[in-house]
Amino acid sequence: MSNSAPLKMALVGNPNSGKSSLFNALTGLNQKVGNFPGVTVDKKTGSFSIEGGRKVELLDLPGTYSLYPKSEDERVVINVLLDPANKDYPDLIVVVVDASNLKRNLLIFTEVLDLGIPTVLALNMMDEVEKDGVELDINHLKQEFGVEVVPVSAREGTGIDELKTIIAKSHSVVKVNTYSIPEETKPMLGKVKEFTGDEKDYVALQVLHQSEHLGFLTEDQKQELSRLKKEIDFDSNLIQVAETLDRYQSISQVLLHAFKRTKPKTTNEFTSKLDQILTHKIWGLPIFFAILFVIFQGIFSWATYPMDWIDWGVTEFSGMVKNLLPAGWFNDLLTDGVIAGIGGVVIFIPQIAILFAFIAIMEETGYMARVSYISDRLSRVFGLNGKSIVPLVSSVACAVPAIMSARNIDNWKDRLITIFVSPFISCSARIPVYTLLIAVAIPEKYYFGVLNLQGMVMFGLYFLGLLAALFTALALKFILKTSERSYFVMELPVYRMPRWGNVFQTILSKVKTFVFEAGKVIMIISVLLWFLASFGQGSSYESKKEELQTAFDSGYMNHEEYSMMLSSAKLEDSYAGKFGKLIEPAIKPLGFDWRIGIALVTSFAAREVFVGTMATIYSVGDDADEATLKERLKGVKNRTTGEPMFTLAVSLSLVVFYVFAMQCMSTLAVVRRETKGWKWPILQTVYMTGLAYISSLLIYQFFK
Amino acid sequence: MTRATKTLADLKLGESATIDHLTNEPVSLKLMEMGCIPGVEIQYTGSAPFGDPIKIMVDNEYILSLRKAEAKNIWLKED
């Protein structure tokens, strides 16, 4: 055996079996998150060394109860394990089972065993089970299943070295066939084997069951298999039920000998006590809302400090580069395009990190499953699902990771509705826009000494977004047709202390997802917008420039004023400015002029670009703080009427436009990937922006 | 042999019963994979705000939550 080739190993197991903990215990910090080709399911890989210095590349497959997956993320498992040509196809599988719940956990183990890939069984949480008075005959398990069995405690870190030693041994495929293939399916398996080139019966049967979901089959092959299945009335559900019962039967047989309980099973007192409070019929939901409130407070107050530092750092760095390099278009591209783009991405990391820290803690402790449980009924009114809550809450930070987290919703319709309405929830990129416009339009008034009018309007905007999300979900519930029945079956794991390593890993992986998924698009658009805003000037700019030059030379304005006016004039006559003017007739009824038009266009990279664009258009200069910009905007006059431009009507119209409009390319890119096509992102853009247009129109015409 | 006449949805809070069979629905497969198989004892231990979904203790080992509509697929043995 060559020592140089790394051993490819995959982790398989039930959700809550301690699979991620084992993954972390094995790999430590040698982890990375990527994507499986074609789907946006996070692909967690890591590596470690075993005896003899051989490297093991470990793949953490999504948690699943069986090899017949129901949701998008679980389908990754079969797409890897049923396809020997897949580059992630493992040399060795470690199935992690929760020893306190052995029977159910062994179901997927026996399924995996029949795939004919060398397998090791890791009995997690053995320490706790033994304390509970359970005796497990490990040798009997080894004999019956013909594989190595290793007790581990991923939380305590015990048994990890033994597991590594076992992994280092050479493994051969065992022939146990825990399940006998039904006779009536056998004639068809030959056809499947022809397609896959894999000779194993059980693999062929799996492929037959799940042909529609397997990415490695061609469309023709899928159709051929569907036709064959129809021909012999292949009742996939019935056969799977029979298989499942059959497997449970043989597992029970094995456990009858291997499993002994020396004292009666005790229920987890702590969990049932806590559940009485947290899932209380009346108090359960208020408690959840209170927790949400604390989380949002945390995001908005704590994140301010790191965000200010990042803002300061990016501005300083940009200024440094600007001074260091010779002036010219390359300098501008680097500072105003690339660095500004990176800054626009990095600024959101603190909020995303804090939000996902909370979400990870809620997941780790077992509370998140309860949240889905207590909110399912209410969510269902709006065509959503208890599992929609995580994506909707995540959307407060950023819709991109939120939409990705919707893939654990098994039902396609529920999932689609969740994806569709998530961008309505006000994300962190809207905050700077809201803050600026509220400051301009709403007076700083207090009611009863504490209620701040501006704060209330801010709250109102968030509420408006939520309302739009719920209303849209409700409408989609009736519009979308599906034959698939929505269901909700979920395990409520026992409450545990969070494992901080896992929390940290989640934060890391979510931030990475955001930076690489959203960041990529924001960067590209940012550079593109820089180009549109910097070039295209014609003769009118030249004459304006001369005019300004004369005014400067004769001392009418200082250098600062001159350069601000110049960049404003430059923007006005650029491609972006021309485009703003082009769309002006369309946005005039909303109370917007071409300058706001430019800001709307540039907001497509990321909404917060609005503030910077406004600063440039109204010649406030790059490093002006918000207060300066606010004063400046208040002073802007409407050129035709001479009245202030940013009246209450215009500001409200504009801010509501930002609440509703789909102005985020990264979100669209993710929605396209998640829904596998352009249909939904296009519908989303048309619907959201249409709603924004109509709402702004009504508001402006009403308040005007 | 007595046929099962009531389902999980008919249980009262705190009551236990043994699963007899499940109706032939796709969701039943999911329930089985999660441990609701004939012969297993389940206990109705609570319900969420607005009375749905409910939660059950399976095999005295772990808690599952499911909607009442799904609970109707789980038929129970008569005592």
Residue A418: which pLDDT band, with cuts at 50, 70 and 90?
Answer: very high
User: Going by DSSP bridges, is the β-strand pair A92-98/A119-124 parallel, antiparallel, or unpaired?
Assistant: parallel
Q: Searching chain B, which residue's CA lies closest to the CA of residue A101?
A: B61
Residue A259: which pLDDT band, with cuts at 50, 70 and 90?
Answer: confident
User: Going by DSSP bridges, is the β-strand pair A55-60/A7-13 parallel, antiparallel, or unpaired?
Assistant: parallel
Q: State whether A237 and B29 contact (CB < 8 Å).
A: yes
What is the C-alpha to C-alpha distance for residues A70 and A504, in angstroms, rounded to an integer? 28
Chain segment A136-169, per-residue pLDDT in tens? 899 999 998 889 999 998 888 889 999 999 998 8
pLDDT given for residue A40 in this prediction: 56
Q: What is the mean pLDDT of residues A336-341?
A: 80
**Which residue, among B13, B44, B65, would best test binding to A if mutated, counting the most A CBs under 10 Å from its CB?**
B65
ipTM for the predicted complex comes to: 0.94
Q: State whether B63 and A279 contact (CB < 8 Å).
A: no
Token pair 């853009």 in the structure block, residue: A685
Q: State whether B52 and A376 contact (CB < 8 Å).
A: yes
CB contacts, 8 Å: A280 with chain B: 49
Residue A368 pLDDT > 70, yes or no? yes
**Across A402-411, A543-552, A607-616, least confident range:** A607-616
Residue A2: which pLDDT band, with cuts at 50, 70 and 90?
Answer: very low
DSSP states of A57-83 as a string? EEEEPPP-SSSS--SHHHHHHHHHHT-
Q: Which of A3-7, A496-500, A546-550, B33-37 has the highest mean pLDDT?
A: B33-37
Q: What is the mean pLDDT of residues A318-330?
A: 87
Residue A607: which pLDDT band, with cuts at 50, 70 and 90?
Answer: confident
What is the C-alpha to C-alpha distance for residues B65 and B57, in angstroms, rounded to an integer? 9
CB contacts, 8 Å: B66 with chain A: 487-490
A263 touching chain B per CB within 8 A? no
* Residue in A374, A378, A489 nearest the CB of B64: A489
pLDDT given for residue A20 in this prediction: 85
Domain A7-168 fold is: Rossmann fold (3.40.50)
**Across A102-111, A639-648, A690-699, least confident range:** A639-648
Chain segment B23-35, per-residue pLDDT in tens? 988 889 999 999 9
Q: State whether B31 and A489 contact (CB < 8 Å).
A: yes
Strand partners, A135: A260
- Residue A486 to residues A184, A375, A379, A424, Cα–Cα distance (Å): 31, 15, 12, 23
Q: Searching chain B, which residue's CA lies closest to the CA of residue A108?
A: B33
A278 touching chain B per CB within 8 A? no
Domain ranges of chain A: 7-168, 183-261, 284-428+449-479, 523-703
pLDDT given for residue B12 in this prediction: 93
pLDDT given for residue A33 in this prediction: 67
A491 touching chain B per CB within 8 A? yes
Q: State whether A491 and B47 contact (CB < 8 Å).
A: no
What is the C-alpha to C-alpha distance for residues A86 and A79, in angstroms, rounded to an integer? 8
Selected residue with higher pLDDT from A2 and A146: A146
| Residues 6 or more apart whose Cβ sits within 8 Å of residue B20 | B4, B38, B75, B76, B77
Residue A3: which pLDDT band, with cuts at 50, 70 and 90?
Answer: low
A70 touching chain B per CB within 8 A? yes
Q: Searching chain A, which residue's CA lies closest to the CA of residue B59?
A: A101
Chain segment A106-126, per-residue pLDDT in tens? 999 999 999 989 999 999 988
pLDDT given for residue A334 in this prediction: 85
Q: How long, in residues, is chain A?
A: 704
pLDDT given for residue A620 in this prediction: 54
Residue A524 pLDDT > 60, yes or no? yes
CB contacts, 8 Å: B35 with chain A: 101, 103-104
Residue A23 pLDDT > 60, yes or no? yes
Residue A28 pLDDT > 60, yes or no? yes
What is the C-alpha to C-alpha distance for residues A336 and A472, in angstroms, rounded to an integer? 38
Hey, what amino acid is at A121? L
A479 touching chain B per CB within 8 A? no
**Which residue, among B28, B33, B40, B64, would best test binding to A if mutated, counting the most A CBs under 10 Å from its CB?**
B33
Q: State whether B66 and A490 contact (CB < 8 Å).
A: yes
- Looking at CA atoms only, how far is residue B79 from chain A in angstroms? 23
DSSP 3-state of A229: helix
Selected residue with higher pLDDT from A643 and A650: A650
Domain ranges of chain B: 6-76
* % of residues, chain A, pLDDT over 90: 32
A427 touching chain B per CB within 8 A? no
Q: What is the mean pLDDT of residues A528-541?
A: 81
**Which residue, among A274, A379, A487, would best test binding to B if mutated, counting the most B CBs under 10 Å from its CB?**
A487
Q: State whether B33 and A244 contact (CB < 8 Å).
A: yes
pLDDT given for residue A538 in this prediction: 80
Q: Which of A102-111, A253-262, A293-302 has the highest mean pLDDT?
A: A102-111
Residue A268 pLDDT > 60, yes or no? yes
A281 touching chain B per CB within 8 A? yes
A488 touching chain B per CB within 8 A? yes
Q: What is the mean pLDDT of residues A587-616?
A: 82
Q: Searching chain A, which residue's CA lies closest to the CA of residue B45?
A: A272
Burial class (CB in 10 A: 0-12, 13-18, 19+), A294: exposed
pLDDT given for residue B1 in this prediction: 47
Q: State whether A488 and B38 contact (CB < 8 Å).
A: no
| Residues 6 or more apart whose Cβ sits within 8 Å of residue A223 | none
- Looking at CA atoms only, how far is residue A178 from chain B in angstroms? 16
Q: What is the mean pLDDT of chain A?
A: 86
What is the C-alpha to C-alpha distance for residues A574 and A379, in angstroms, rounded to an integer? 47
Are the C-beta atoms of A605 and A529 separated by less than 8 Å?
A: yes
CB contacts, 8 Å: B24 with chain A: 237-238, 241
Q: State whether B37 and A248 contact (CB < 8 Å).
A: yes
User: Going by DSSP bridges, is the β-strand pair A92-98/A7-13 parallel, antiparallel, or unpaired?
Assistant: parallel
Q: Searching chain A, which residue's CA lies closest to the CA of residue B27?
A: A487
CB contacts, 8 Å: A487 with chain B: 27, 30, 66-67, 69-70
Residue A604: which pLDDT band, with cuts at 50, 70 and 90?
Answer: confident
A-to-B residue pairs, Cβ atoms closer than 8 angstroms: 120
What is the C-alpha to C-alpha distance for residues A682 and A544, in angstroms, rounded to an integer? 40
- Looking at CA atoms only, how far is residue A100 from chain B in angstroms? 8
Cis peptide before B53 (omega within 30 of 0): yes
Residue B10: which pLDDT band, with cuts at 50, 70 and 90?
Answer: very high
Q: State whether B51 and A487 contact (CB < 8 Å).
A: no
Chain B interface residues (partner A, CB cutoff 8 A): 22, 24-35, 37-38, 45-53, 55, 57, 59-67, 69-70
Q: What is the mean pLDDT of residues A596-600?
A: 87
Alpha helices in A197-334 (DSSP H): 201-209, 219-231, 236-258, 269-278, 284-302, 304-324, 329-332
The CATH code of domain B6-76 reads 2.30.30.90
A275 touching chain B per CB within 8 A? yes
Question: How many Cα atoms occupy the beta-carbon half-sphere of A89 within 13 Å?
Answer: 12
